[in-house]
Amino acid sequence: MNLRKLVGTLLLSWVFVCGQAKQQVDMDWWREGRFGMFIHWGLYSVAAGEWNGKPVDGIGEWIQNFAKVPNSEYEKLADKFTLSNYDPDAWVKLAKQAGARYIVFTTKHHEGFCLYPSDVSDFDIERTPYKRDPLKELVEACRRQGLKVGFYYSHRQDWREEDAAVMKNEYDGHYGKPRSEVKPNLDRYIKEKALSQMKELLTRYGKIDLLWYDTPFDLTKEQSQTFVNVVRELQPECIINGRVGYNLGDYGALGDNEMPCSRVNMDLEMVATMNHTWGYKKNDHDWKSPKDILCSLIECASRGVNYMINIGPKEDGTVPQPSVDIMNFIGNWMQANSESVYGTSGNPFNDNFPWGYATHKDNIIYLHLLREPLNRRIILKGLLSPVEKAEILSSGMAVPVSDKGHYALTIPAELDYGQIPVVKLVCKAPVRFSEDNYMNENIVSIPVANGKIIPGKEGSLSIAEGGNTQNFHAGTGKLQLKCEIDEPGAYKVRIFTSRHWRRTFAEGAKITLKVDDNPSFNSVLMQKDGELANVRQNSYPETWSDVGTVNFRQKGTKELELAVNSTGTFSRLGFFGEDIQNESENNIRFMRIELIKETR
């Protein structure tokens, strides 16, 4: 080996050993697939949201924590975890027929119980009446049906292990001793249980395609890196999710049920519940509608991110019927329309369309219609590529296209918008777009992610992975936006912010907004004038505030400038204290600004 090559090899080894090098894993199957199915199954599925006959609020898989159950009591659930109707092939078939390309299954959640026979812990499936390995059976079913295999592993939280006690925000009653006597040794837990079990999981079940870590909390970067290294060493082609911590995964991380508010230009995955819980709860009947769940899949694709929907089977392995119905509804739609999701990139336009969502691939644009466009017309401003033709994807029905400066589509009458019809627009070359924000129908929607950040005296606001503002408070600068107005007149100014459902709206928040040459809205109070009624309300409600009206004497480019005077009580952190983007409390989480043409 010549000297140059030797030096290069040594340098690369050194960088890798320091964990600095981020090994490039082939993400193509994951990006192409766009859609996965999450499965939360554990002793909490036996509890099913109740303890001592009483309902326990909160997500079902956290019941031991919320109900403050000592391990000596909680472990008795294992006797009732029968798996008597467990049919892994049926689970995989449900996912496959819905069009999901991968499954992520909880091998060990925060409760510490292992859904497979572990040599490292006796708190595992061998405590139950089930005498086989359900994880092995699920992996084999995935292989038989051609779905990729993902393992969820709670690498930081383990309520069974005192060494993993998260003292600042966890009930220490799990260990049957007063908090003052709980002496966690996190390094020992990591070495003796977590990493040892990772080795079991990564060597016993063949090729694993995705490792899904969760809630890194107070892990150090070095500790997170050890969870990366064990995967790289044993399963070098395995993708690691963003929640391993410190952005060390192969893709980014959003909060639970957190929908990006505009197109993102990085690998991200949105994980979502079908009701309000991941683990089965017998009393949670607040199922999202099948169409809402399908819309979330499509909206994620239009943002360029993956969508992983969760099912929470009962203790016997039965999948709740509403979950089956939702997956079948998605599957029916995907049968005719999946090409508008698989392998696509996000909405190429800068606009959020009032009638639905767009995706694109090479020379094709897909328009997903959630409702009939105004006057059954869609005008594609900003499209620079010549159009060849347009049709309804599922039927082939022609969609007339005219070119009067902008391409305009005339949408056929009598489409069934309950089934989210898709227009397939074929261009004569790979699609190209202008960077401008245009009006669609009577609204111009300006995502904050399109803005230019001007840092302030105390630092700078930024744009989070989900496209919303973060660290945006007095002193961290301002955001400059611009848009194209089609006609002069009066426009209502509507600002959309988001918050984590556990926190109140931004009481007392004040902002300053300049819109072109109109009088500035100075330090105006953000009122809660409404919230969008959609699936986001479950976790990240989208609230709008109408700050006033502006007038434009002429059509054309208009510039806006937004600054924060005070953030009030606005925040996004959940009460677990988990925050993925290390977001501070002192932030207004803007999503977009809409200018809505006022009709006379």
DSSP 3-state of 104:
strand
**Cβ closest to ligand JFZ, residue 212 vs residue 521:** 212
User: Interface residues for ligand JFZ in 60-79 (CB under 6 A)?
Assistant: 61-62
DSSP 3-state of 379:
strand
CB atoms within 10 A of CB 567: 22
**Cβ closest to ligand JFZ, residue 322 vs residue 574:** 574
**Cβ closest to ligand JFZ, residue 81 vs residue 491:** 81
Distance (Å) of CA 567 to CA 282, 509, 510, 521, 524: 39, 4, 7, 16, 12
Tell me the residue type at 82: T
Give min distance, CB of 578 to ligand JFZ, in A: 5
Residue 45 buriedness (CB in 10 A; 0-12 / 13-18 / 19+): buried
**Cβ closest to ligand JFZ, residue 35 vs residue 407:** 35
Span interacting with ligand JFZ, options 6-14, 23-31, 80-88, 576-584, rule CB under 6 A: 576-584
Q: Print the binding letters for residues 185-214 with ligand JFZ: x by CB under 6 A, - otherwise.
A: -----------------------------x
* Long-range CB contacts (within 8 A, 24+) of 342-346: 342/32, 342/33, 342/34, 342/101, 343/31, 343/32, 343/34, 344/34, 344/301, 345/304, 346/263, 346/264, 346/301, 346/302, 346/303, 346/304, 346/305
Tell me the residue type at 87: D
> For 18-170, where are the E strands, in sequence order?
35-39, 50-51, 54-55, 102-108, 148-153
Q: Is there a contact between 76 and 96 (Cβ–Cβ < 8 Å)? A: no
| Euclidean distance between CA atoms 452 and 438, whole angstroms | 17
Q: Among residues 135, 270, 271, 330, which is the contact residue for ligand JFZ, using CB under 6 A?
A: 271
| Euclidean distance between CA atoms 314 and 569, whole angstroms | 39
Residue with the CB atom nearest ligand JFZ in the bound state:
255
Q: Among residues 204, 574, 584, 586, which is the contact residue for ligand JFZ, using CB under 6 A?
A: 574
Size of the site for ligand JFZ (CB under 6 A): 13
Give min distance, CB of 375 to ligand JFZ, in A: 41
The first and second tokens of residue 31, run together, are 């990006």
Q: Among residues 42, 49, 255, 331, which is the contact residue for ligand JFZ, using CB under 6 A?
A: 255
User: Interface residues for ligand JFZ in 442-461 (CB under 6 A)?
Assistant: none
Backbone phi, psi, residue 425, to 5°: -105, 120
Tell me the residue type at 592: R
**Cβ closest to ligand JFZ, residue 215 vs residue 460:** 215
Tell me the residue type at 521: F
Residue 271 buriedness (CB in 10 A; 0-12 / 13-18 / 19+): buried
**Biggest distance spanned by C-alpha atoms of the chain:** 79
**Cβ closest to ligand JFZ, residue 281 vs residue 360:** 281
User: Rule CB under 6 A: is residue 535 a binding residue for ligand JFZ?
Assistant: no
Give min distance, CB of 95 to ligand JFZ, in A: 17
Q: Among residues 153, 278, 407, 544, which is the contact residue for ligand JFZ, using CB under 6 A?
A: 278
Backbone phi, psi, residue 445, to 5°: -110, 120
User: Rule CB under 6 A: is residue 578 a binding residue for ligand JFZ?
Assistant: yes
**Cβ closest to ligand JFZ, residue 210 vs residue 378:** 210
Span interacting with ligand JFZ, options 54-62, 410-418, 439-447, 551-559, rule CB under 6 A: 54-62
Q: Among residues 39, 47, 48, 59, which is the contact residue for ligand JFZ, using CB under 6 A?
A: 59
User: Rule CB under 6 A: is residue 580 a binding residue for ligand JFZ?
Assistant: yes
Residues 6 or more apart whose Cβ sits within 8 Å of residue 121: 112, 114, 160, 193, 197
User: Rule CB under 6 A: is residue 104 a binding residue for ligand JFZ?
Assistant: no
**Cβ closest to ligand JFZ, residue 171 vs residue 355:** 171
Give min distance, CB of 110 to ligand JFZ, in A: 6
Give min distance, CB of 30 to ligand JFZ, in A: 18
Q: Is there a contact between 197 and 121 (Cβ–Cβ < 8 Å)? A: yes
Span interacting with ligand JFZ, options 115-123, 441-449, 486-494, 572-580, rule CB under 6 A: 572-580
Q: Print the binding letters for residues 215-244 with ligand JFZ: x by CB under 6 A, - otherwise.
A: x-----------------------------
**Cβ closest to ligand JFZ, residue 547 vs residue 580:** 580
Q: Which residues of this chain interact with ligand JFZ, rule CB under 6 A?
A: 59, 61-62, 214-215, 255-256, 271, 278, 574, 578-580
